[in-house]
Amino acid sequence: MPIIMGIMKNEKNAGLAPAPGDRTAVRQLLQRLRAHRFRRNWTQAELASRAGMGRTAYQDFENGYGNITLANLLCILGVLGFSSNLADLIPQLEEERTLATADLAPRRRARTVNPLRRKK
């Protein structure tokens, strides 16, 4: 069975198992990347070359056996025209307003006073 996106045991994550949906999400990502590569009629070597990666590194990644860096993932998405969609993975945080806080001004960060600074 392939190691999907570096989900393997090592000293840092010993005993940590991926959530059940993680493998499905990774498989979907890899299938979509492959489908977009096929649509452009590119080989794995051609996509890897355009992304500035080695063929075997990309091949292992697409087949679910290897790890790539976030920088390489961005290069792949950029070559396919999807790098601007990466931020959509994490929704923007919206502050919830309640009736109790609706009339209050937004909170400001308090300034600290430097005890070493003398007042004139």
As a whole-number percent, the residues of the chain with pLDDT over 70 amount to 72
Phi-psi region of 66 (alpha: psi -120 to 50; beta: other; left: phi over 0): beta
pLDDT at residue 11, rounded to an integer: 44
- What is the chain's length? 120
| pLDDT confidence tier of residue 37, bands split at 50, 70 and 90 | very high
Quick one: CA torsion of 25, 74, 38, 26, rounded to 10 degrees?
-10
For residue 27, count CB atoms less than 10 angstroms from its CB and return exposed for 0-12, middle for 13-18, buried for 19 or more: middle
| pLDDT given at position 80 | 95
pLDDT band at 72 (very low <50, low <70, confident <90, very high): very high
- Which whole number is the average pLDDT over 72-81? 94
Task: Report pTM.
Answer: 0.61
CATH topology of domain 20-88: 434 Repressor (Amino-terminal Domain) (1.10.260)
